[in-house]
Structure 1
Amino acid sequence: MTVKDIFNLFLLISALHGFLFCLLILFSKNGREKSMIFINLLVLIISLNNIQSWVLAKNFFIEYFFLDYIHIPWHFLIAPLFYMFLINYLEIEKRSKNILKIILPVFLLTISIRIGFVSFFSDKNTTDVAYLFEKYTSIEEIFSLIVSLIIFGYSFQILSKKEQLFTKILSFDNLKWIYTFFKLGLFTYVFWIIALAITVALDFKEFIYSYYPLRVLTTVLIYWIGYQAIIQLRLLKERKDLRKQLNFAPILEVKEQTEEEKDADKQLLFDKIHSLVEDKKLFIEPKLSADFLANELDISSAKLSNTIKLFSGKNFNDYINEFRIELAKELLTHENYKNYTITSIGLESGFNSKSTFYYTFKKHTGLTPTEFQKSTV
């Protein structure tokens, strides 16, 4: 099997996988969410592009001039659909531009130009026509690349303004997975630029093997963000539901101290710290720090840490994590949340990642969250 055969097989399998993905999302519980609709369309576009490339590579329409030269430029829609997913996931679509309304007419115009091009040359099936077609296709692709880069950059600019535009979503999702997508996306654009540069350098006359890694990378990247979006959307919905429904009871009781063991003023300060953390549920904020809490109480962070150590016997992080662990234990054993993912429970309890939650939970209880949940059934 040659490299070309392997690549063509990849195109076919990835296209079929994409169509199956779209069907599963379409009939899933969250399939009607706007953000998921755009992710689904994004996967569909890549799947259509791959099946089109496979059909053309297999020369199924070599005898039909019109069909062999009508290549739909699906790549025009990739960046706009990702942008639409982004603004809907971040819940800022009402304050953002609908770029798709601008790009769709351009996309349809390029298809019309292609049809006109093919119609004009349909009775002149010569080598020169093939050369002209490849040249036009590359010029069209360069235009698409420029437009895509502009939208990609604009999308990243929106994400960089997170503290001003969408503070609400940040309390549920740190968006690291989207930042990862941007990093990988930039890498993909480099491959695209290289492939186009080689095409131009070879005067549009030879098949460019550099498009192989580009198409593979693009496909994997789009499918990856599709699956990530499914996972993150579920976590987001569960965490919102948890925060909305839970009416927290006190998580930890203040340890009583005898007069010999404590100073009255220090005990009063500790009670104040404990009450602030408990009543305002500050512990569910992953970025809670000693400096922030000390500032709220108008004391130094050193005094805060020393007071916590004196009365709880723990350092600041262990003290806060104890609140988080107690809440997580409550949620893990609560009948209303037995179908929720352990990850969403951990994140909503104040941990910044699944791995941190599992490590800290086992450190405090001797069991993983999964083992703890099973032990209480």
Structure 2
Amino acid sequence: MNIKEIFNLFLLISAIHGFLFSIVILFSKNGREKSMQFINLLVLVVSLNNIQSWILIKDFFIKYFFLDYLHIPWHFLIAPFFYMFLIHYLEIEKRSKNILKIILPIFLFIISIRISFVFFFSDSNTVDIAHLFEKYTFLEEIFSLLISLTVFAYSFQILSKKEKLFTKILSFDNLKWIYTFFKLGLFTYLFWIIALAISVALNFKEFIYSYYPLRVLTTVLIYWIGYQAIMQLGLLKERKNLRKQLNFSSIDINETLVEEPKDSYKKVIFDNTEALIVEKKLFIEPRLTADSLANTVDVNAVKLTSIIKLFSDKNFSDYINEFRIEFAKELLVDEAYKNYTITSIGLESGFNSKSSFYATFKKHTGLTPTEYQKSLLK
């Protein structure tokens, strides 16, 4: 089996996988969530693009001029659908632009141009149709690339520069997985640019091979974000339910007030700080830092960390993690929370990832959260 056959098999299998993914999500319990609907559309357009490429490479329609040249530019919709997923997942869709109202008409217009092209040249025998078509496709892809990069950059700007719009989500999800998607997405655009450059260098002849890495990377990346979205959305809903049952909301540590210590004794500062941490459950905030806590209690950060070290014999991180571990231990053995996953409990206790929760829990107790729960819940 040569490289071309392997790639063709990949296109076929990935397309079938994508269609099955879409069907399963459509009828799943989270399938009605707007964010999940756009992830589903994202996977679907990649699957349609792959099955279309597979059909064209196999020359199934070579005898049918209309079908052989009517290539739908599904790639045009990938970035817009991701943007729509992002604003719905961040729950800021009411304060964001609905770019689909602009993109979809353009997409339909591009398809109409292709249809016109097919009808105009269907009876022509004097023009090198294939070469002309590839040149047009190149121009269309340049346009699609520019639109896609613009939407991609705008989406990243929202994620990185407008955190004040989605502080509620940030109290449940640090969004590192979405940042990872953006980093990997840059490589996808790089491969796209390289593929277009090779197309020009080869004068638009036999350039399909330059798209192999691009389509493989795009497919894997889109399916990865699809499965991540499923997992994260489920975890997000579970954590919201857990927090509701715990009966406390997210804390803005910069807005929490405490009575300023009436004297300068270090023990008074330590006691006031610890009382505040316990009373307001500040430790459940994954982004809690020595600086933010120091601002809250109106004490210099260096001074506060030295006081914590003096009276607890722990650095700031270990000191805060001790509260988180004790809180997690209570939830792990409480029958009222037995239906929640250990990961949700760990994240609601203030850890920013499953791995950090497990590692810290093992460090403090000598057991993993699972082992600890099983030892006490019998």
* Fold-level similarity (TM above 0.5): yes
- Give how far 1:267 is off: 4.9
- Which residue number in structure 2 is paired with residue 74 of structure 1? 74
- Give how far 1:306 is off: 4.7
Answer yes or no: is the 8 Å Cα contact 1:62–1:68 preserved in 2.
yes
| Distance in 1 of aligned mates of 2:180 and 2:88 | 18
Answer yes or no: is the 8 Å Cα contact 2:199–2:210 preserved in 1.
no
What does residue range 98-247 of structure 1 map to in structure 2 within 5 Å? 98-124=98-124, 128-247=128-247
Residue type matched to 1:57 in 2? I
| Distance in 1 of aligned mates of 2:302 and 2:97 | 48
- Which residue number in structure 2 is paired with residue 281 of structure 1? 281
Answer yes or no: is the 8 Å Cα contact 1:65–1:122 preserved in 2.
yes
- Give how far 1:284 is off: 0.6
| Distance in 2 of aligned mates of 1:265 and 1:160 | 41
| Distance in 1 of aligned mates of 2:191 and 2:15 | 21
Residue type matched to 2:118 in 1? V
SS at match of 2:294: helix
Q: How many corresponding residue pairs?
A: 363
Residue type matched to 1:242 in 2? L
| Distance in 2 of aligned mates of 1:302 and 1:113 | 65
SS at match of 1:276: helix
- Which residue number in structure 1 is paired with residue 295 of structure 2? 295
Q: For residues 292 and 145 of structure 1, do their structure 2 counterparts lie closer, same or farther at Cα, with a shift above 3 Å needed?
A: closer
SS at match of 2:61: coil
Q: Are 1:47 and 2:11 matched, yes or no?
A: no
Deviates more, 1:316-325 or 1:186-195: 316-325
Residue type matched to 1:160 in 2? S
Percent of counterpart pairs with the same letter?
79
Any idea what the Cα deviations from partners look like across 1:101-125, whole Å, max 9, x if unmatched?
1111111111111111111222225
Any idea what the Cα deviations from partners look like across 1:41-63, whole Å, max 9, x if unmatched?
00000001101111111111111
Q: For residues 321 and 17 of structure 1, do their structure 2 counterparts lie closer, same or farther at Cα, with a shift above 3 Å needed?
A: same
Deviates more, 1:169-178 or 1:126-135: 126-135
- In the superposition, the TM-score normalised over structure 2's length comes to 0.91
- Unmatched 5+ stretches in structure 1: 249-263
Q: For residues 117 and 349 of structure 1, do their structure 2 counterparts lie closer, same or farther at Cα, with a shift above 3 Å needed?
A: same
Answer yes or no: is the 8 Å Cα contact 1:198–1:208 preserved in 2.
no
| Distance in 2 of aligned mates of 1:161 and 1:266 | 38
- Give how far 1:287 is off: 2.3
Any idea what the Cα deviations from partners look like across 1:181-225, whole Å, max 9, x if unmatched?
111111111111111111122222223311000000000010010
- Give how far 1:356 is off: 1.3
Q: For residues 126 and 331 of structure 1, do their structure 2 counterparts lie closer, same or farther at Cα, with a shift above 3 Å needed?
A: farther
| Distance in 2 of aligned mates of 1:367 and 1:114 | 63
Residue type matched to 1:218 in 2? T
Q: Are 1:94 and 2:76 matched, yes or no?
A: no
- Give how far 1:335 is off: 2.8
| Distance in 1 of aligned mates of 2:41 and 2:196 | 26
Answer yes or no: is the 8 Å Cα contact 1:65–1:125 preserved in 2.
no
Q: What RMSD in Å do the two structures reach over aligned CA positions? A: 2.0
Answer yes or no: is the 8 Å Cα contact 2:342–2:369 preserved in 1.
yes
Answer yes or no: is the 8 Å Cα contact 1:26–1:32 preserved in 2.
yes
| Distance in 2 of aligned mates of 1:373 and 1:78 | 43
Q: For residues 203 and 267 of structure 1, do their structure 2 counterparts lie closer, same or farther at Cα, with a shift above 3 Å needed?
A: closer
Q: For residues 151 and 292 of structure 1, do their structure 2 counterparts lie closer, same or farther at Cα, with a shift above 3 Å needed?
A: closer
Deviates more, 1:152-161 or 1:14-23: 152-161
Deviates more, 1:329-338 or 1:346-355: 329-338
- Give how far 1:265 is off: 5.6
| Distance in 1 of aligned mates of 2:53 and 2:226 | 21
- Which residue number in structure 2 is paired with residue 255 of structure 1? none
Any idea what the Cα deviations from partners look like across 1:55-83, whole Å, max 9, x if unmatched?
11111111111111111110110111011
Q: For residues 97 and 303 of structure 1, do their structure 2 counterparts lie closer, same or farther at Cα, with a shift above 3 Å needed?
A: closer
- Which residue number in structure 2 is paired with residue 321 of structure 1? 321
Q: For residues 243 and 128 of structure 1, do their structure 2 counterparts lie closer, same or farther at Cα, with a shift above 3 Å needed?
A: same
- Which residue number in structure 2 is paired with residue 258 of structure 1? none
| Distance in 2 of aligned mates of 1:185 and 1:206 | 26
